[in-house]
Structure 1
């Protein structure tokens, strides 16, 4: 076995010498920090906008079917985001170890870790799909869906569970690309897939061009097909262009070790990411007490919010590789500079968003429903919560930075504070006496508190990582 592993490593060293120039790795340990952040973030913004357009386009066309269908999408979103967030933890673990391997210029490790992350993704997505399919009715009943909504939820979620590998695996594959400094390729792929989804949605939902009218089921099918295209494109690029995937016995022999290093970051990062949608599931349960239209209103505003937060999502996806590569190179000053730059970006863009969304709130909410109650409550959400977007944006980047340096536990604590410990007890009691906008206001305040905590904590963590200076040698006279 050892002989085969040595043969594999010799083969890869030859590949590195002969074809290494083809691999589009970017060195983030030199050059301007703001330039790296902008170069990587801007294409990712476009790509994530395209990626998030799946849900928004689904919501737009499904909203034409009726308010029950709109509410069903609200429940579906709260659960699917929980599962996706768990797998974003796997992508965080993959990005963390790959960024550090890239910072060391160790292509053998990059191949082993990328391929092992793919195997892990296959196993995890299969398990989540099986569990999801047998818990549809009890889970959605638990969070407040009524008998009229449950069949609509099932129509969508069954297709989503069956095709979940097409959702989850590309998230991990794109994290591998980002760890090596490339965000442009995934952007192009996501744009093409979003266009495909826009075309397929009305065809399957309304039965255009002779296709059967599938309604909410059609939205799920269109998304599954588009995301399937993303799956094959992402892994094709990783295999042929990055040379970062290798299906061989040598990789399988090293799978356990590679999986352990990925999961050391991935498990707590998954907990961090799952806390947010898990808190949202509980929140949806509380909001259900205000009625199904309150759930629909919150879902409309949250989908609009997802597009507004795309810059922060992109920045958090970029800061992890920047931190990881510079940590491997022992360049701590660059890590601190990157975090301060990210904070300035977040606060400035958050202020712009808050003002812009407040001015457009009525128009935006009116695009998804004609119901006056739904519009009114969605507008209240869009007035109150965007005030905290700058702080929330930095929480995302701080959590990604903790993952990048291989210390994900503080991110778990901050996210728990932001989504569970601070808001849920207050919201629960407030819901007994106050209307829905008070719930939104509490959420906004908790984002601001968490943003302040995360800044001081991540800066202290980076400073603690610096090696202690050696005492000067004293010469006796």
Structure 2
């Protein structure tokens, strides 16, 4: 366990964010490797896997429910120096992860085909996406166990064990992807099915490795059979904190599904270009996301310790770091859009759509950084409803105009990208205003406990 209520906040953010960023970057390589080899199969497989990959946002939304609730409750317990409560929360998180993973596995297989039919441009794209998800679904179910364990460690201020496991997973996926997708060495290529299977096998190894760490090395929180028995009051607390964040991720899924829907008339090449561009952005913004991921447990521990000034400083310092990173990223993407998208999309039409998307999307980066920061601080405070409200406002200001415009004669793709910039900017403004209101409500006179740590706000 690492005490985040003492010392320099900036140093805590950097110390935690660097390994988180490394882990997330390698995690993105996990998807990029699949994307590269699938891209070699042609536009239809790429479009199918990209559209299917959007469905993973829905599963990420569900894992976010578990992860956010776990980080918030454990970090606040650590701040209060209540180790017993932290252990109860961790074990209940594991039980809820098992139940959730089983439910996703069953429902996923039942809904994969209808989902692909609703977003794909043609039957071949539907089949490619369906095949990929069929083989990847067990891996998606295992994400819950991985998130429960990783979130517990992050709540206690530790990120290195999760990083080591992620690196192991990436190496394994890098080995398996060309073997299973392209048939290297076996001469039996599985195509998109191999992409899904490679990811699933890698996640199996990741869960086993992290479970072994908890059984043998972790000392602050650990697996205890009596504590694994379901405790519904704890589940309700985890869900009350996590559900709004899960809803926030679900809205991202809806947002992306609407974009895919509006691009249907432009064919699979346009969907492939957007899909590749979206995946690239997910990878490029990871350093900024890592800073926000570090801010959450720092805010949570200090909130649990009743150190209001340090919570405010966590927001201002992390927002400044993220904004600086996003400005640099905006300049880079605007400069190298074609080269970036050309690494994955091979068709000229796909490259044109993807490059255009990247040039517009990069103007969202600073606003997205502020949204990430606000969302993480809300998580640390244990109230994630404001983040859901700001995401809902973005969806409304984007979805309704986008659907209407797509029905008009002469509809052009760039109109969707303009709407995206406007709606994301509005969401960022709403998030900051809601966080200021939350600070005023929570940090009333007398909230800050007397004691150490108040002088180390930088």
TM-score band, normalised by shorter chain? over 0.9
2:397 paired with 1:422:
yes
Give me the CA root mean square deviation: 1.6
1:378 corresponds to: 354
Correspondence for 1:309 among 285, 305, 323: 285
| Number of residue equivalences | 444
Within the candidate set 403, 417, 442, 2:419 is matched to 442
Moved over 6 A (4+): none
SS in 2 for 1:163: helix
* Aligned residue in 1 for 2:10: 34
Q: Tell me what 2:224 maps to.
A: 247
Instruction: Measure the CA separation in 1 of the matches of 2:171 and 2:437.
Output: 44
Deviation by residue 1:427-470 (Cα, 9 ceiling, x = unmatched): 22333343212211221222122112211221221232113359
Q: Which structure 1 segments of 5+ residues have no match? A: 1-24, 471-477
Which residue in 1 is equivalent to 2:268? 292
1:83 counterpart = 2:59: yes
Q: Secondary structure at the match of 2:367?
A: helix
Take 2:157 and 2:436, find their aligned partners in 1: how far apart are those partners?
Answer: 23
Higher deviation after alignment, 306-315 or 145-154: 145-154
Q: What secondary structure sits across from 1:321 in the alignment? A: helix
Q: CA deviation at 1:211?
A: 5.7
Of 233, 254, 261, 2:209 maps to 233
Q: How does 1:123-142 map to 2 (within 5 A)?
A: 123-142=99-118
Alpha-carbon contact 1:43-1:184 (below 8 Å) kept: yes
Distance in 1, Cα, partners of 2:212 & 2:234: 21
| SS of residue in 1 equivalent to 2:69 | helix
Q: Deviation digits for residues 214-246 of structure 1, max 9, x if unmatched?
A: 111111111111111111122222332224232
Q: How does 1:53-202 map to 2 (within 5 A)?
A: 53-202=29-178
Aligned to 1:51: 27
Counterpart of 1:362 in structure 2 is 338
**Cα distance, 1:252 vs. partner?**
4.1
SS of aligned partner of 1:209: coil
Task: Sort the Cα spacing of 1:252 and 1:175 in 2 relative to 1 into closer, same or farther, 3 A.
Answer: closer
Pairwise CA distance, 1:402: 1.3
- 1:333-348 equivalences in 2 (<5 Å): 333-348=309-324
The 3-state SS of whatever aligns with 2:336 is helix
Distance of 2:236 and 2:186 partners within structure 1: 50
Shift in Å, 1:409: 0.9
CA offsets 1:305-359 (integer angstroms, 9 cap, x no match): 0111102221221111111111111111111111111221222111100111111
Instruction: Indicate if the aligned counterparts of 2:367 and 2:424 stay in contact, CA closer than 8 A.
Output: yes
- Structure 1 stretch displaced more, 173-182 or 209-218: 209-218
Q: 1:247 to 1:145 in 2, by over 3 A?
A: farther
**What do residues 292-312 of structure 1 show as CA deviations (whole Å, max 9, x unaligned)?**
111101001011101111022
Distance 1:364 1:245 in 2: 43
How far the C-alpha of 1:271 sits from its partner, in A, is 1.2
Instruction: Sort the Cα spacing of 1:384 and 1:104 in 2 relative to 1 into closer, same or farther, 3 A.
Output: same
Q: What's the CA shift for 1:254?
A: 6.4
Larger-gyration structure (1/2):
1
Offset from partner CA, 1:186-210 (integer Å, 9 cap, x none): 1122122112111110011122222
Contact 2:368 2:424 in 1 (8 A): yes
Instruction: Please list the CA deviations of residues 91-139 of structure 1 after superposition, one character each: whole Å capped at 9, or x if unmatched.
Output: 0011110111111122211211111101101101111111111122222
CA distance in 2, matches of 1:149, 1:254: 42
TM value normalised by structure 2: 0.93
Indicate conservation of the 8 Å contact 1:112/1:255, yes or no: no
Distance in 2, Cα, partners of 1:95 & 1:438: 39
Shift of 1:253: 5.1
Alignment partner of 2:194: what SS?
A: helix
TM-score, with structure 1 as normaliser: 0.90
Contact 2:48–2:120, Cα closer than 8 Å, also in 1? no
Q: Distance in 1 between matches of 2:138 and 2:168?
A: 23
